Structure 1
């Protein structure tokens, strides 16, 4: 509910509530579109590093979104652009398609709903970076945290000789999507074992998976400060103790959010390093957006450009 003079300029908080209302009601608020776009960092294209297209249930091109508005789910085909690389098919929610049940589940499990919203730009960056350094995953046991639809985890499973990949999220609805997509792409994983997992950060101190992973990967998981302590503790618990192990995170600074998370990492006795320019192609896209590439009109480095964070014991 909004307060104050209806004719006054809306506050950022009231505009954010209108974004939520638009998603819930699936209606067009044309007169408010310009103002909403001024505060929303979400983008349909992002860095566009792993090209994709909308397909129908048979894997054929399907470019008309208007004809599928009566459905909740869509399927995207991702092209990995490597010799003999298979196509990756991911079923996910149609953007801005939310219902009250989604928020009831979030309240029940004390989780956020971001994994259902869309494929976020940092996940695209993690997936592309994983393509370029795929040899580093050879024979490793790896887990992706807060994976959402798990683009990066699936890419790693398909193009590297990783031994086992766990794709995890704390939202049971998201995990259902992950498992469906594992089943749909099973023929493309070769000898790699791929598993879905519902994982709540900070709630598995005595879990049998603790200390069993060579690598942990995640993207844009430091947005909510209330989860920092649990995320840092989870990374420490999952990494192997007596063998070399590493967590790779991609995250924008988002004000002081990343710094506060890294403070928790340090408090957990872990070491970290930050790299700003970690890939020539990604850096070039970053510079293009800074120079006014209109495909991402609200690009702002602090909120949009993910830094590479490496965490070790």
Structure 2
């Protein structure tokens, strides 16, 4: 999942795309300069000029805001309520679970009944330079720490509406962030096993917390977290073992395209029914380039624009301006396309 979605203003489409790309470059430039300043004496030599430039650039780009399709009802959850909820594995001690950087959210899953999930997140304003330094050191990104992204919510919603496909399956979520989609699959389908993975150890720590909180909601489904780097050789015991791989907004960083495609190929079962389900916005030419690499790796893919009538209806209302609850909506960066990937020559 990528960092700070480029929600550009809504004048002309061409201008929006250019503005979004420019903003993304500025954001990463800010982080780079901040890290360079921290690791050298340049700030001491320059006085406050570097800080001033960072502040100037920060004030001239759009900030990440909590927008989404609002497909799954959710509300903040006080830590006292989380502590008292059954099966959270924290023995009523608030200090054992969470910190001042954390927030707690209760999701009420659609489909009737009282099914819900409680998730712990990092606060959206709590990303620190230490997090960026760790991402540089281990060649990982920090996007999983930022928030639950719109594409992740759409993926979770889609999985609820297509729960039959997961029955008795072994499922893997790649680049999961806090793991909403994987947790939804575990809680609302009859999957045999769900593995929720990310390459960032900090993120995987949160995934494991969220698994622990919701342990009693998974029934017979086995659920576990895993640190999984796309650019490393995968352990032999998980090669070609997954019936379904899911991921959301994982195709933004082009430098990871090859390793992501190879990871999907190496982990999917050699079966006519095994498949990967990706939900990703176009984000300029990023998705198209990834699809090309998918084909170069001998995989088949199908792109579906209208895959759910509720999501499609909301998308069209945002584009037309009929719904203004997402004022900076840009279909290139906000609307996820459904990509079905198969390791066989055709997809049924």
TM-score past 0.5 threshold: yes
Distance 2:180 2:216 in 1: 17
Distance 2:56 2:209 in 1: 39
Q: Which consecutive residues of structure 1, in runs of 5 or more, have no partner in the other structure?
A: 1-10, 61-69
- Are residues 1:54 and 2:53 paired? no
Shift of 1:270: 0.5
The higher-RCO structure (CA 8 Å, 6+ apart) is 2
Distance 1:224 1:31 in 2: 26
Q: Which residue of structure 2 aligns with residue 16 of structure 1?
A: 27
SS in 2 for 1:266: helix
Q: Would the aligned equivalents of 1:59 and 1:77 in 2 still touch at CA under 8 Å?
A: no
> 1:17-63 CA deviation, whole Å, 9 max, x = no partner?
69759x99xxxx999998433xx5x4413111112111111337xxx
Alignment of 1:236-255 (within 5 A): 236-242=265-271, 244-255=273-284
SS in 2 for 1:208: helix
Shift of 1:103: 1.3
Q: Which residue of structure 1 aligns with residue 295 of structure 2?
A: 266
Q: Which residue of structure 1 aligns with residue 159 of structure 2?
A: 130
Aligned length: 286
The counterpart of 1:296, out of the listed 319, 326, 337, is: 326
Q: Which residue of structure 2 aligns with residue 5 of structure 1?
A: none
SS in 2 for 1:247: strand
Distance 1:18 1:97 in 2: 19
Distance 2:25 2:213 in 1: 41
SS in 1 for 2:279: strand
Distance 1:205 1:147 in 2: 17
Q: Which residue of structure 1 aligns with residue 258 of structure 2?
A: 229
Q: TM-score, normalised by structure 1?
A: 0.85
Instruction: Give me the CA root mean square deviation.
Output: 2.4
- Are residues 1:36 and 2:61 paired? yes
Distance 1:263 1:17 in 2: 26
Q: Which residue of structure 2 aligns with residue 65 of structure 1?
A: none
Bigger fraction of residues in helix? 2
Q: Would the aligned equivalents of 2:30 and 2:57 in 1 still touch at CA under 8 Å?
A: no
Q: Which residue of structure 2 aligns with residue 72 of structure 1?
A: 101
Q: TM-score, normalised by structure 2?
A: 0.77
Q: Would the aligned equivalents of 2:268 and 2:274 in 1 still touch at CA under 8 Å?
A: yes
Q: Which residue of structure 1 aligns with residue 203 of structure 2?
A: 174
